[in-house]
Structures are given as structure tokens and as C-alpha cells.
Amino acid sequence: MDSQNTTLIQKELDGFIDALARHSTQINYTVVTYIHKRKKTSALVLYKECENCESEILEEYKTLQELATSIAPHITLQLVTPSRDLIPMPSSFGNVSYARVFDKVFDSPKSIDNNIDFDIELGTLTTPELSSVPVGIRSIDVFRHIGIFGTTGSGKSNSASIIASQLLKKGFNVVILDWHGEYIEKAKAFRLIDNDNFIKINILKFSNIDEIVEILSDVLQLSDPQRFMLYILLIRLKKYPNFTLKNFISVLSQIESTSNWSKEVKMALARKIYPLFTTEGKKLFTSSESDNIADLFQDNSGIIINLSSIKNLKLRKIYALFLIKIVTDLYMNSRQSKPVLLVIEEAHNYFSTDNEFTNKLISEVRKFNVGLCIVTQSPSSISTEVMKNTNIKIIHSIKADIDKRMISDSMSLPYNLVNIMDKLDQGYAILSAPNIKQPVVVKINKIDYI
């Protein structure tokens, strides 16, 4: 294949190959791109399973010459003799290279049952012969928890929105903890809670002091002595009617300082806990009765809590963890008529590897009609307990090797799916769920409003 103008010839070659794809014949074509001495060249191989059919191949070659003359006049097809008997590899190549991906096709298992039982539709299968087959998850499996993983912009929030919207229509209570304010523009059937109407929380009203200490210690990075002192403080503060800075300082001063070390522990604890009593903290944490979250579920609308308006990141995290505790306590302590789904965006901010509260929570709440939807771009940053206890997994594009290993190990993915994990386009995902025998690649539906 000779060329004077590479760009022109590449376009002609593209057109010629497209014409071959439409050409009706029993002869097969293979385009071989060959690199020799740092130069790229290509050959068109014609072959057919037959005996004594050389004349047929030669006739096809003449037809292709005429086709090339009309479509690609700058390309000359030169006949060469194959150099091998079994593999039809030419002994020489031309000087024009050709290599192109026509369509991206993800290799889903060939034996998948296309009669998948589901009532929450997510999208369609990507296998060519099953590309119009819808696929989804079952609402009864939501209590076994959902993990949605992928890099920024890969489609995680869209997948979570589809699940949240459909479960709301099926009678679930749905609460979305929106870390970055991504759901605000989507909200139609959901009530928005943010800076002007935050749910007020009095942490002293929680009965389990151990869990309060666990939440505050994890976020504020308290040392063991500070954790112990906080535990004593909270026990004594429960005797006071209000959770105020004045009462906190009063109780703290009553704890005897037997050494300079204990004084330093008290001062460090006071400094770390202070954000709860700032102007921003007072919007979130009250000194009186906590708001009743059960009242928010009365009008059958979902709830989006816009955490992005909380500027102090430690306050944001503390507040979100206590919201999770309020919702789960409501269901664990009293029978509720409706199940609930908690969508937790940027979950790596809450479900860290050493957070005893969240590790215990995810394994216990499923018995009380509580489903958690864990959404994160960094699966390696969350606890292995979370990975183990999310039985529905939706894997969008994952780039980091450490995250790919975490996902692969938790799902026992076959190599072909591990290999495409970083190549998935926006809106595509690997789906693993109890109602699907083996993981499949899905093109997720697009949703604009929830």
C-alpha cells in the first residue's frame, strides 16, 4: 500500500474497511497491523475454510481492487503469497498502517440468564446479543446494603438517584446525606433540609454513651485519655438539663487534675470539642429536645440533607454520623410501618477502617428494615466490614490499583471484569447482586430528577 499523503490515505483506508464490513461474501477478512523496525504497516488477509478455492479468493481480490479504486484511489492492493500454511500471514507488508477500535463491547458472561428477577430497574445489559435486556435489583435485597463505587464523574450519584427515586415510589422512606450538594438541583419529590432548617440534635438525649464517645472520638481524633475523660464528662453532663458550653466547662473543671498531664488532657479535650458550641455548631446541636425525625416522614416525601452548607468539615462529619444514629435508632427501638433507605454520599468520610460505631451498625440494622447505600470514590478508605456487608455492588470506573484490588477481592471478580474496571465509560458499571448469578456490565439509565 503506497502513500503520498498519510492523513488522506488513513481516511480512505477507513472508508475502504467500512465498505468491506458491508460487503456480502463468504470470504473472511482480517486486517493485520504489523510493527517492524519501528514502522507501522498493515495487510488485508483474505481467507476461507475450503479445498481448492484459490480461484475464488483471486476473484474476490479483483473485486476488492475495483472497490479500492472507487473508494480509496490512493491505495494500491498488491497480491502477496502467504508465508505459512496454517496461519495466512503474508510474507511482506505495505507501508500504510491501520488499527482502529470500532465499538467498545464489554465481555459479560455468555451464559447469563436474561430472565433476571428485579423490581428496581437500573439499565440494560451491554452484551451485544442482550443489549436491550433490562436489568436491576430487588427491593427486598436493599436491606443487605448497597455499595456504589467509582471515580468522580463516573455516574455514582446517578445510580444512587435511580435507586432512591424508585424505592420512594415503592413506599420506602428515603434519606440522602448529600456531602457536596449534588442532589439539590435534582430534587422534586424530595424535601430539602439545609442551612435554614437543619434537624437539631441534643447528643445528651442518646442513651448509649459508648456510641457518642465513639463518634466524637473518631472525628475529633481523641487520644485514649481524652476518650476516657469525655466518657466521664458525658455521664456527668446527663444530670444537667441542657448541653451548653457553660455546663461543659463547669463539669470539666470539677474533674480533679492530679498532674500537669491530666490538665493537658482536659485542655486538649476542651479545644477539640469547642466547635460544637460555635455559631455554626449551635445550628446543628441544641441544648433542648432534639427534633423528632419521625415527623419528617409523615408527608411521604424523601429527605435530602444538604451537608455542603456546613463549612467546618469535622462538624459536618459529626452531624452526619449523629443523623445516621438518629434514623437507625428510630427503627431499632420502635417498629416503623415503612422501611428506610439511607443514601450516604462520600461514605469514606464516615465508614473509616477503625470506626467501631459504623462497623457494628452495618451488620445490625438490616434486621430492622434499614438499608444503607454506601457511595464512595475510595473503597480502599472504608472498612472491610462495609465491603463484606454490601451485598449489592455497583462498580463504576475505578482507576487506582489499591481500590481495584479492594473491589476485586471483595467480589472475587473474574479477570475479564477486573481488566475493564478502569476502562468503563461514564454511566457504565459492573453490577453484582443476589438476584444475578454472576456479575455483569450494565449501561445505567440516566435520571434528571428524583
Gyration radius of the chain's alpha carbons = 31
Computed over every residue of the chain, the mean pLDDT equals 84
Better-predicted residue by pLDDT, 136 or 58: 136
Residue 371, helix vs strand vs coil: strand
Output 286 or 400, whichever has higher pLDDT.
400
At 206-250, the pLDDT tens digits run 889 999 999 999 999 999 999 999 999 999 998 887 888 899 999
Query: Kind of pairing, strands 428-432 and 392-395?
Result: antiparallel
User: How many Cβ atoms from other residues are within 10 Å of residue 11's Cβ?
Assistant: 13
Say what the pLDDT of residue 396 is: 97
Instruction: Give the DSSP H or E segment for 86.
Output: none
**pLDDT band at 449, cuts 50/70/90?**
confident
How many angstroms separate the CA atoms of 198 and 176, rounded? 14
**What is the C-alpha separation between 396 and 399, in angstroms, rounded?**
10
Residues 246-275: tens digit of each pLDDT: 999 999 988 877 767 788 999 999 999 999
Task: Give the C-alpha distances (Å, rounded to integers) separating 392 from 125, 145, 231, 366, 387.
Answer: 17, 6, 37, 13, 10
Report which of 215, 169, 160, 194 is spatially closest to residue 338, judged by C-alpha positions. 169
Grid cell at residue 432: 453484582
Cell of 108: 459479560
pTM of the model: 0.74
Enter the DSSP assignment of 240.
S
> What gap in Å lies between CA 86 and CA 83, rounded to an integer?
9
Spatial separation of the C-alpha atoms in residues 106 and 313, rounded to whole Å: 39
Task: Using pLDDT thresholds of 50, 70 and 90, give the confidence band for residue 3.
Answer: very low
Domain range list for the chain: 1-102, 120-198+292-444, 203-281
At a CB cut-off of 8 Å and minimum separation 6, what does 65 contact?
77
Distance in angstroms (rounded) separating the CA atoms of residues 81 and 92:
8
pLDDT at residue 148 is higher than 90: yes
Q: So what's the pLDDT on residue 169? A: 94
348 within 8 A of 318, measured Cβ to Cβ: no
Q: State the pLDDT at residue 64.
A: 79
Pick 105 or 145 by higher pLDDT: 145
Q: Nearest CA to 348 among 302, 299, 293, 403?
A: 403
pLDDT band at 144 (very low <50, low <70, confident <90, very high): very high
Q: Which residues have C-beta within 8 Å of that of residue 157, sequence separation ≥ 6?
A: 182, 183, 345, 375
Please state, in angstroms and rounded to a whole number, the distance separating the CA atoms of residues 158 and 414: 26
Instruction: Check whether 142 has a pLDDT greater than 80.
Output: yes
pLDDT band (50, 70, 90) for residue 119:
very high
Residue 428: the pLDDT is: 96
Whether the Cβ atoms of residue 346 and residue 352 lie closer than 8 Å to each other:
no
Dist CA 291 CA 27 (whole Å): 75
From residue 91, alpha-carbon distances to 98, 230, 329, 429 in Å are 18, 81, 75, 43
3-state secondary structure of 178: strand
CA distance 145 to 2: 61
Span 120-198+292-444 CATH architecture? 3-Layer(aba) Sandwich (3.40)
The three cell numbers of residue 161 are 438517584
Instruction: State mean pLDDT over 52-72.
Output: 78
Alpha-carbon distance of 18 to 100, in angstroms, equals 11
More confident residue, 297 or 232: 232
What's the pLDDT score for residue 107? 53
pLDDT for 4:
47
Neighbours of 253 (CB within 10 A): 11
C-alpha cell at 285: 446541636
Top pLDDT among 259 and 358 is at: 358
Share of the chain above pLDDT 90, in %: 46
- Phi, psi of 124, rounded to the nearest 5 degrees: -130, 155
The C-alpha cell that represents 448 in the structure block: 434528571
pLDDT, tens digit, 9 for 90 and up, residues 169-218: 999 999 999 999 999 888 788 999 998 889 999 898 888 999 999 999 99
**Three-state SS for 444?**
strand
CB atoms within 10 A of CB 17: 18
